[in-house]
Amino acid sequence: MIDRSPDASLSPRAPAAGGSGLLLLMLLALIGAPFVPGAAAAQELRLPSGTTDQRVDRIAAVVGDSVIFMTDIEEELIRIEAQGGDIPTDPEVRTQLQRELLEGLVNQQLLLQAAARDTMIVVPDDRVETALRGAWEDEIRRWGSETALREELDRSQGLSLAQYRSRLREDIRRQILIQTFIQSQRRQARPIAVSDAEVDAFFESQRAALSRRPATMTFHQVFVQPSPGDSAMAAARAEIERILGLLRDGDDFESLARQYSADEGSRAQGGDLGWYRRGDNLVREFEDAAFGAREGMVVGPVMTQFGAHLIRVERVRGAERRIRHILIGADVTSEDLDRARARAEEIRDRMREGAPVSEFAEEKRNLPLADSLEVPTSELQSLPPALSSQLLTASEGDVVGPLEFPLGPEQPAWAVFRVVRIRDEGEYTIDDLRGQIRQRLQQERTEARMLQDLRSRTYVDIRI
């Protein structure tokens, strides 16, 4: 329903529309998603079949100023087997698999080196540590205890827990660095056309491997978020003007953001929100101010439903801007909550009379979420009972709500839903997946073009 990231609390980033991630995950599995540290099943961390425990130090490839060893390929084989994959014993088939794995390692090095040269890409330590905590908890859960994991690491690889954790940390850092670089390149890349015939051909090639489509519910949605009253907004403006005075007196923007900003997602990074283009889910007032400013310029006070902001444009790169901000939040009172609920009840009544969701443009402006979502009923069952019970018992055409829905910490909203379609479990059709397949093929081709360009400008010597 709503994707609530842990750093989205009081950010000017508008909450992103969530929904079913299952279809995308299914496609990624078919196409070949990258290995995520900590995602291996709880099986022995043993050497792959046909491999001895003797370390092989032969160089497999040279990429720029980096070397890939045969042992790096063997570690990839270990990961495949740990996830339940079969390692071929036939020498020719095994050699072919090693070459395919080497190709992936070469591409990884090309991306890492390109990302390292891009001085505008930064991987925050706290993001790495957050991902590491999740990956480590997954490992402990899969093995049953930290003791069991330690014993297996010592037996099979001669690693301590600290060494293994350090490897996970570096794997995660590299993965985030590569993902950030790829996302940046995608935004700057020329669109690549994918025809309907190519989408159809891909679907037919994968049809036999598709899992069954889960039971789903499609609904239209409108969210009403409480807005602070005039007195709270005035107090926030007064405080942000005081901080602006400190800036004019020579105080450092990043230090002031760490000291005063109410945006928990960016405060520790000195207010750094990262790179944005117009249309990237910033609320309108914030986006207009940020994209109307020159590089290095501070603008504000900028008033949004979150409170009062000071905005600094750190860098400009084509259509993108790297943005910092300081937010002084405006408190929402019980009267504000009552007013929002009353508005949601009004919207419910209008929708029951047949009004389309497009009629409620003002609410969409404040929360630019998707008007329509198709969600597996299993995901609805994971919602709080007060929400799931009303949605799961609704019929097509019913209007449900208003239901209180948390958009983030201390960010309540009221949601109204119109159930448009209820589908039982069944087989996927091309229409179910067309958009996702097209997007995936476009991404693959964009990345292939990017890798071809990187390879043409980098020394690569394959030695096996």
Instruction: Kindly report the CATH number assigned to the domain that includes residue 277.
Output: 3.10.50.40
Residue 11 located in a structural domain: no
Which sign does the torsion angle of CA 133, 138, 144, 149 carry?
negative
Identify the residue with better confidence: 23 or 240: 240
Confidence of residue 368 (pLDDT cuts 50, 70, 90): low
Percent share of the chain, pLDDT over 70: 85
Does the pLDDT value for residue 221 go beyond 50? yes
Read off the tokens for 307. 């409170």
Mean pLDDT over 416-437 rounds to: 93
pTM (predicted TM-score): 0.59
CA 368 remoteness from chain centre: 17
CB-CB contact of 228 with 330 (8 Å) = yes
Q: Which of 160, 72, 120 is nearest to 276 (CA)?
A: 120
Residue with tokens 């078919």: 30
Range of the domain at 312: 230-329
Residue 435 located in a structural domain: no
Confidence of residue 299 (pLDDT cuts 50, 70, 90): very high
Does the pLDDT value for residue 349 go beyond 70? yes
pLDDT for the residue 318: 77
Which sign does the torsion angle of CA 257, 4, 111, 106 carry?
positive
pLDDT for the residue 5: 33
Claim to verify: residue 146 and residue 83 sit in the same structural domain: yes
Bond from prior residue into 124 cis (ω within 30 degrees of 0): no
Residue 19 located in a structural domain: no
Looking at residue 426, what DSSP letter applies? B
Average pLDDT taken over every residue of the chain: 82
Residue 34, SS3 per DSSP: coil
Residue 452 located in a structural domain: yes
pLDDT for the residue 281: 75
Give percent helix, percent strand, percent coil of the chain, each to the nearest 5.
50, 20, 30
Confidence of residue 268 (pLDDT cuts 50, 70, 90): confident
CB-CB contact of 200 with 307 (8 Å) = no
Residue 21 located in a structural domain: no
Number of compact structural domains in the chain = 3
Claim to verify: residue 52 and residue 65 sit in the same structural domain: yes
Claim to verify: residue 87 and residue 171 sit in the same structural domain: yes
Q: Name the domain boundary from 314, 329, 344.
A: 329
Claim to verify: residue 154 and residue 247 sit in the same structural domain: no
Does the pLDDT value for residue 197 go beyond 80? yes
CB-CB contact of 375 with 19 (8 Å) = yes
Mean pLDDT over 66-72 rounds to: 90
Claim to verify: residue 128 and residue 57 sit in the same structural domain: yes
Claim to verify: residue 363 and residue 245 sit in the same structural domain: no
Cα 432 from Cα 290, distance rounded (Å):
38
Does the pLDDT value for residue 157 go beyond 60? yes
Angle at 309 between CA 308 and CA 311, to 5 degrees: 165
Q: Name the domain boundary from 286, 312, 329.
A: 329
Claim to verify: residue 319 and residue 447 sit in the same structural domain: no
Claim to verify: residue 162 and residue 250 sit in the same structural domain: no
Claim to verify: residue 392 and residue 415 sit in the same structural domain: yes
pLDDT for the residue 410: 64
Confidence of residue 223 (pLDDT cuts 50, 70, 90): confident
Claim to verify: residue 161 and residue 258 sit in the same structural domain: no
Least confident of 256-265, 342-351, 355-364, 429-438: 355-364
134-138 own/partner pairs: CB under 8 Å, 24+ apart:
134/38, 135/36, 135/37, 135/38, 135/39, 135/168, 135/172, 136/38, 136/165, 136/168, 138/38, 138/39
Q: Name the domain boundary from 299, 329, 359.
A: 329
452: buried, middle or exposed (CB in 10 Å: 19+, 13-18, 0-12)?
exposed
DSSP structure string for 298-364: EEEEEEETTEEEEEEEEEEETTEEEEEEEEEE-PPPHHHHHHHHHHHHHHHHHHHTT--GGG-HHHH
Cα 65 from Cα 70, distance rounded (Å):
17
Least confident of 176-180, 326-330, 361-365: 361-365
Claim to verify: residue 304 and residue 317 sit in the same structural domain: yes
Identify the residue with better confidence: 283 or 411: 283
